[in-house]
Structure 1
Amino acid sequence: MNPSTLTVTSMTTAEEAAAFRTLNEEWISHFFAALEESDRKTLDDPFSAIVDPGGDVLIVRDGREIVGCVALIRSSAEVFELSKMAVAPAARGRGIGRQLIELAIARARQLGAATLFLGSNTKLANAVHLYESVGFQHVDPEQIPLPPYARADVFMRMAL
């Protein structure tokens, strides 16, 4: 994979929405027993659940192939949740996740965010380390708008 072939755009098509779903179903079902109801709501119609209320879904392509994604879900005017970040298994370990999170932070600022938060899980140690490395800080769950995932046991926040 040549980094110059990577492009990142906002999700606009049904094909991209389907890839967003597939990429997220892969990691969720790999690490956890099943999708939660809140996953289904977001993944079934990401345009209504994320984009229409003022959020965004970034899609990463390597050439024509979709290899990654991340969602910015508006929680309030200046607070967004970083959610549903995924990189295709064959594309992992190549720095795509880091590029994706850095672009998501920049995009959140463009959308008017003053704070980003996320819920993750200790099983996702590589992801948690990546979040720490770009400036997210661990907080008590009471310090963020609680993400609707039973699997979340790591809570982080970043001031922008």
Structure 2
Amino acid sequence: MAVEIVSFQQKYAQAFFDLNLEWLEKHFYVEDFDLEVLSKPQQYILNRGGHIFFAIENETVLGTVALMPHNEDFFELTKMAVLPEARGKKIGQQLMQYCIDFAKENKLNLMLYSNTKLENAIYIYRKYGFLEIPVEANSPYKRSNIKMILTL
């Protein structure tokens, strides 16, 4: 599969929203914080020094992921979603590796929130070197019950 990973372009903003909304509705529910970030990626991610990447094949967005500034030490790996018909083709792992390479090049540490019911995702995070740490009481996501970091 000839997948190209590109940085945010306005023409892909709707795909960022739609792919993530579909994924959240399928696996959990959409929280107010999700809607804010997804509908205003410039404000919550890009204008704060974050990044959004897209996996593209033949002008079709197959997947997306964001690196959102969390605090002075970490960027949150967040809003990763893959087009339903492209799942199982390792698009998410390609996006993950791209983010890790990007983080290494830019001397960023990564963290993420997830839920242990997503066993495959947790397995992949561990495979890429993420380690579990306690979830803080004021986590931005009600659905998260696991927090992981990757110090690069």
User: Counterpart in 1 of 2:145?
Assistant: 153
Q: Deviations over 1:104-139 (max 9, x none)?
A: 1122234441x2111001222111111111000111
Secondary structure of the structure 2 residue equivalent to 1:101 = helix
User: Counterpart in 1 of 2:112?
Assistant: 118
The structure 1 residue matched to 2:73, chosen from 75, 78, 84, is 78
Secondary structure of the structure 2 residue equivalent to 1:52 = helix
TM-score (norm 1): 0.89
**Aligned AA (1:104):** C
User: Counterpart in 2 of 1:30?
Assistant: 26
**Counterparts of 2:88 and 2:138 in 1: how far apart (Å)?**
30
Structure 2 unaligned residues grouped into runs of 5+: none
Q: Deviations over 1:49-90 (max 9, x none)?
A: 101100000111111100100000012343100001111111
Change (3 A) 1:146 1:9: farther
**Counterparts of 2:106 and 2:30 in 1: how far apart (Å)?**
28
**Counterparts of 1:46 and 1:37 in 2: how far apart (Å)?**
14
TM-score (norm 2): 0.93
The structure 1 residue matched to 2:5, chosen from 8, 11, 31, is 8
User: Counterpart in 2 of 1:45?
Assistant: 40
**Counterparts of 2:72 and 2:146 in 1: how far apart (Å)?**
24
Structure 1 unaligned residues grouped into runs of 5+: none
Change (3 A) 1:54 1:111: farther
**Aligned AA (1:40):** L
**Counterparts of 2:114 and 2:125 in 1: how far apart (Å)?**
10
**Aligned AA (2:113):** G
Q: Give how far 1:147 is off.
A: 4.1
Secondary structure of the structure 1 residue equivalent to 2:96 = helix
User: Counterpart in 1 of 2:14?
Assistant: 18
Runs of 4 or more, structure 1, over 6 Å off, are: none
CA RMSD of aligned residues (A): 1.6
**Counterparts of 2:70 and 2:138 in 1: how far apart (Å)?**
10
Change (3 A) 1:20 1:9: same
State the aligned residue count. Answer: 152
